[in-house]
Amino acid sequence: MRRASETAAVSSKYSPGSLLSVGHLSVAEVSAILAETARIAALSPAERSAILRGRTIALLFYESSTRTRTSFELAAKSLGATTTLVSDKSSSIEKGESLKDTGLTLRALGAECIILRHSASGAPFVLARETGLPVLNAGDGMHEHPSQALLDLRTILNRLHGADKATSITEHSLSGVTVTITGDILHSRVARSNAMLLPRLGARVLLCGPTKLLPEDALGLGPGIEIERDFDRALAKSQVVMMLRIQKERIAGIELDLNEYIHRYQLNSERLLASAPQALVLHPGPMIRGLEISDEVADGAQSAIEEQVAHGLAIRSALLARALSAGIFKGQTI
């Protein structure tokens, strides 16, 4: 099995605190992250800020991202860490300097962990290999966004099973749960991470979208994944529906009739009421209201979109504690 060998190989090649792909996490590790998330969330701000006091974390952002960057930054600060932001917006990424050299510079300046957002798939692997530091993948190209999948998992568990059940999981925690992911699957790192993570906890994942945005190759992401192109039929089977935006910046060369797309794939009140009146609605953001999701649904009672943001902060705190062997991960070697 590839997964087993991957997990074994990872420990030797990458710092164990790294999170590059959800495929690198065992179910037990996911469970530990959720437990730490709940524990940190229950602490007082003062207790929380002792966890990473005196530690230094770098945020290296080659792509702009308000949501993810702010979330990681606030998480690090709430744990008492010192953060430094290096982004392409500031002039601090030296023009033409390689990722490797930028990483080595950050390490020399004292960074103990690097959070990386990059437009190239696989970039966090390069950074982790070259620096030996724990690297958290904050989104790489069209590949993965592991922290997003973990926060989505916590959101789903909280809503479906209650907060007390969201602290420990097994291979069966999501048995009987069907999650539909609809939209631009091809370009979505969120879709990949969720489609690889949720089935390992027993969920069935239905991918939905037109062929241009959802090729059959997507089935190769792993077991427990199906393609259902009829959105209404997918909704009728689902307890959770996750909507994705169309990534205009990556879509060059693909022609898409937006009216047709909206007609077939927009999540709006009529559709939700008709096919999935109880389903939980998720969206990783940024949303394009009126395109993949309507206003009423985004702000409606079934929407957990704001909770996702809150859970993001909590999950990322736990990931940082794990990266730096703090909290319940204390004593684990980096």
The site for other proteins (CB under 8 A) is made up of: 6, 13, 20-21, 98-100, 118, 120-123, 125-126, 130, 140-144, 186, 189, 192, 215, 217-221
Return the number of the residue (46 or 252) whose C-beta is nearest other proteins: 252
Strands across the sheet containing 280-282: 225-227, 204-208, 178-182, 240-243, 280-282
Return the number of the residue (158 or 194) whose C-beta is nearest other proteins: 194
Cα distance between residue 242 and residue 148, in whole Å: 12
Give every CB contact of residue 47 below 8 A, 6+ residues apart in sequence: none
Gap between the terminal Cα atoms of the chain: 26
Return the number of the residue (108 or 252) whose C-beta is nearest other proteins: 252
What's the min distance (Å) between Cβ of 66 and other proteins? 22
Cα distance between residue 183 and residue 241, in whole Å: 11
Tell me the two tokens of residue 190.
């969120």
What's the min distance (Å) between Cβ of 125 and other proteins? 5
Per-residue burial over 96-126, b = 16 or more CB atoms within 10 Å of its CB, e = otherwise = eeebeebbbebbeeebbbbbbbbeeeebbbb
Cα distance between residue 210 and residue 106, in whole Å: 42
Cα distance between residue 178 and residue 15, in whole Å: 34
What's the min distance (Å) between Cβ of 193 and other proteins? 10
Return the number of the residue (210 or 327) whose C-beta is nearest other proteins: 210
What's the min distance (Å) between Cβ of 142 and other proteins? 4
- Give the residue from 139, 180, 182 showing the smallest Cα distance to 156: 180
| Torsion from C-alpha of 211, 216, 221, 224, nearest 10 degrees | 100
Return the number of the residue (48 or 143) whose C-beta is nearest other proteins: 143
Return the number of the residue (118 or 311) whose C-beta is nearest other proteins: 118
What are the strands, taking DSSP E only, across 211-316?
A: 225-227, 240-243, 280-282
* Contact indicator for 85, 69 with CB cutoff of 8 Å: yes
What's the min distance (Å) between Cβ of 233 and other proteins? 23
